[in-house]
Amino acid sequence: MPTASTVSKSTTATKPVRKTRTRKARTTKPTPTVKTVTVAKVSTPKTSKSQTRTLKAIKRPSASKLITPQRYWSDIKTRWAIHNYEITMLVSDFSKVVTFVTPYHTQLVKQVKAWTV
């Protein structure tokens, strides 16, 4: 382990000044616009025209499609009842596994005790 006499601290050496990054100025959010996309049609023997297709602007979903708080609460209750049922079935399956494994476990314990005695 180095001692205080072997460790040299340089007081004349200074660290270079750290530069900070500049950030771009924030811009306002662009409003959604309808874009026009030109799609080239595969040329066929009859004609070789191009089609113009417009994309729809994104719209907020209608509030009429939302469910009422009462339906939401009943949905939560139903999901919770399903959860409780599944957990009950899981516990019953674990108890079946325990009852199945118990005789083998006791047999193994007796065999290991016979080896150590």
Asked if the structure places residue 108 within a domain, the reply is: yes
How far lies 86's CA from each of 24, 25, 75, 95, in Å? 53, 54, 17, 14
Asked if the structure places residue 60 within a domain, the reply is: no
Where are the alpha helices (H) located in 19-68, listed in sequence order? none
Asked if the structure places residue 72 within a domain, the reply is: no
Take residue 103 and report the two structure tokens written for it: 């005789």
How far lies 12's CA from each of 2, 4, 8, 9, in Å? 22, 19, 12, 9
Asked if the structure places residue 117 within a domain, the reply is: yes
Asked if the structure places residue 76 within a domain, the reply is: no
Q: For each successive 10 residues of the chain (117 residues), what is the average pLDDT? A: 58 73 75 65 58 82 86 97 98 97 96 90
Residue 116 domain boundaries = 93-117
Asked if the structure places residue 113 within a domain, the reply is: yes
Instruction: In whole angstroms, give the CA distance from residue 61 to residue 53.
Output: 23
The structural domain count of the chain equals: 1
Asked if the structure places residue 107 within a domain, the reply is: yes
* pTM of the predicted model as reported, rounded to 2 decimal places: 0.42
